[in-house]
A and B are shown apart, each in its own frame.
Chain A
């Protein structure tokens, strides 16, 4: 029983860690976006305002995939273990 609960908790933590690998994508993408925005501002300093606004919007949209991963990781860390352990306890009680 304790072993099973331990496996559940460990696997939830592992899953959260693996889910956050998705953070790589937005990191690279936003880095590219900001680099290009810096180049654009360097070429045309007078368009700084418009470029910054557009860049922030693009960054926010690119961030979405990372945030999906974050939501899943948070669910796995804080919500899933409780539910899964309850299911396990119920199943064990039913067997008895």
Chain B
């Protein structure tokens, strides 16, 4: 191992600080603006302020701010991991970066085929953004994925990509595909086109939100249970939250970590399958060959 020079170290430190800073900022913002409340409280994203706009007011909510903070964090994680890439590996982080890229590349190759290998960064972006957004709930922040607007935006983006690849063989081919297997089923096929992004958005949002709601309800229920068991004791003993210690953490292991990562994976998988499933690659290749032969 060669000696790392000073400039390299300074840049590294800046990256690490910038990784943590947005999340710390989010926590501070959360603590400062959160209204004090007792008992069960299930609310949507808090509204910070509203910017007047010509058609509709732009409402800046907690979810938007948190998702931007997560994006900044991811940017600096990427910069940190790719800092000092060498052909001969010198740093440990390069192994991590290469491992992640290889895994996602394998996933894309397996599910989408060779033609779509350029989608690897996009799929990886969706995976990491979705997973980290869900995991922000571990810091006590409002997870952006439990807001339908954020996830709906991602689903709309994916929908546009799917539509692009469906129209790539020409609009006529697409319209013919709509009228299959029978022509009078075309309206239903059209509905199923639009239900793809809706179901993707609802699936992700509903899973994360249901986890949040169940966590809140269960921790309230445990509070009631512990006051039922220990409530008859005199003095401060009655206030001991016996069941609220530890048990919600075990539940959060499932609802926050497992469910969040699983939903990220499923969102990415569905994206891959819908994009590659909507693209008729044989037809595209055939047309390409035809065009080439006409030119010659």
Which residues in A have some Cβ–Cβ distance to B below 8 Å?
A: 56-57, 60, 63-64, 67-68, 70-71, 74, 78
Are the C-beta atoms of A60 and B206 separated by less than 8 Å? no
Given contacts A56-B262, A57-B269, contact A63 B203 (CB under 8 A): yes
A60 contact set on B, CB distance < 8 A: 203, 262-263, 266, 270
CA distance A56 to B264 in the complex (A): 12
Within 8 A of A (CB), among B65-105: none
Given contacts A57-B269, A74-B213, A78-B42, contact A67 B262 (CB under 8 A): no
CA distance A61 to B263 in the complex (A): 11
CA distance A78 to B45 in the complex (A): 13
Given contacts A57-B269, A74-B213, A78-B42, contact A68 B262 (CB under 8 A): no
A71 contact set on B, CB distance < 8 A: 202, 205-206
Minimum CB–CB distance from A63 to chain B (whole Å) comes to 7
A74 contact set on B, CB distance < 8 A: 209, 213
B contact face: mostly helix, strand, loop, or mixed: helix
CA distance A54 to B202 in the complex (A): 20
CA distance A87 to B205 in the complex (A): 28
B263 contact set on A, CB distance < 8 A: 60
Classify chain B: how many residues form its interface, as a range.
10 to 19
| 9 A-B pairs in the complex with CB atoms less than 8 angstroms apart | A57-B266, A60-B270, A64-B199, A64-B202, A67-B206, A67-B207, A67-B210, A70-B206, A70-B209
The closest CB in chain B to the CB of A67 belongs to B206
Minimum CB–CB distance from A16 to chain B (whole Å) comes to 12
A67 contact set on B, CB distance < 8 A: 202-203, 206-207, 210
Are the C-beta atoms of A64 and B262 separated by less than 8 Å? no
Minimum CB–CB distance from A26 to chain B (whole Å) comes to 11
From A56, A63, A68, A78, B207 is in contact (CB under 8 Å) with A63
CA distance A30 to B207 in the complex (A): 15
B270 contact set on A, CB distance < 8 A: 57, 60
Minimum CB–CB distance from A32 to chain B (whole Å) comes to 19
CA distance A41 to B199 in the complex (A): 29
Minimum CB–CB distance from B211 to chain A (whole Å) comes to 11
Please provide the 10 A-B residue pairs with the shortest distance between their CB atoms, ordered closest to farther: A67-B206, A60-B266, A64-B199, A70-B206, A64-B203, A67-B202, A71-B206, A70-B210, A67-B203, A57-B269
Minimum CB–CB distance from A37 to chain B (whole Å) comes to 15
CA distance A70 to B212 in the complex (A): 13
The closest CB in chain A to the CB of B273 belongs to A57
B199 contact set on A, CB distance < 8 A: 64
CA distance A42 to B43 in the complex (A): 44
Are the C-beta atoms of B266 and A68 separated by less than 8 Å? no
Given contacts A63-B207, A67-B210, A74-B209, contact A56 B266 (CB under 8 A): yes
